[in-house]
């Protein structure tokens, strides 16, 4: 990671925005989790963010903006997500610490906490079963109905562009005094 960042800086310029978005999502009861599933999730979701920030931070100028992608599950727990939720809570802790440590340099650090987003990580049979445990073979349509019931707004999910738009806001001048905060983009799931 450091070599890749150093090469980019040498060829282009030092960045003034860092967005760290790392995530894998497997499902399973904590008692049934293998050490391999735990380690792989931790390595990707939390250590991946650490490695990214660690590699880019020496190049960030004063006044830069950092956005770490956490999750709604970085604020709450949910059945069959202990390993994922633990890593996304870790991302929240890292964000808070970085905001404190980098504030004197004018570097803003925040998280985006998405709710359900229809990516291949989520739109798959095992997740359908998690959302619809009473159905033997839930479909994507069953998943959409169940997911929408979790939200205040009438939608089963937020789109990837909604997350991108939230990132654009947090790195913009309009958010120049926002740091140490988590921005939920979840169609009201957390509030409900």
Residues classed as catalytic = 84
Measured between alpha carbons, how far is 24 from 18 in angstroms, rounded to an integer? 20
- Name the 3-class secondary structure at 113: strand
- Name the 3-class secondary structure at 114: strand
Residue-by-residue DSSP string for 8-70 = HHHHS---SEEEE---------GGG--HHHHHHHHIIIIIHHHHHHHHHGGGPPTT-EEEEE-
Measured between alpha carbons, how far is 24 from 43 in angstroms, rounded to an integer? 10
């Amino acid at each position: 990671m450091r070599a890749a960042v150093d090469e980019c800086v040498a060829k282009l310029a030092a960045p003034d925005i860092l967005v760290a978005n790392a995530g894998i999502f497997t499902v399973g009861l904590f008692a049934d989790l293998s050490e391999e599933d735990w380690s792989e999730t931790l390595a990707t979701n939390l250590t991946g963010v650490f490695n990214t920030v660690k590699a880019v931070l020496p190049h960030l100028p004063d006044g830069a903006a950092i956005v770490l992608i956490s999750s709604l599950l970085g604020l709450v727990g949910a059945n069959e997500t202990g390993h994922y939720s633990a890593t996304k809570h870790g991302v929240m802790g890292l964000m808070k610490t970085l905001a404190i440590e980098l504030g004197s340099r004018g570097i803003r650090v925040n998280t985006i906490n998405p709710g359900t987003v229809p990516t291949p990580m989520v739109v798959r049979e095992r997740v359908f079963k998690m959302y619809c445990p009473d159905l033997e073979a839930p479909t994507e349509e069953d998943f959409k109905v169940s997911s929408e019931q979790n939200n205040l707004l009438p939608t089963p999910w937020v789109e990837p562009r909604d997350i991108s738009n939230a990132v654009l806001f947090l790195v913009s001048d309009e958010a120049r005094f926002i740091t140490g905060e988590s921005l939920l983009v979840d169609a009201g799931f957390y509030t409900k």
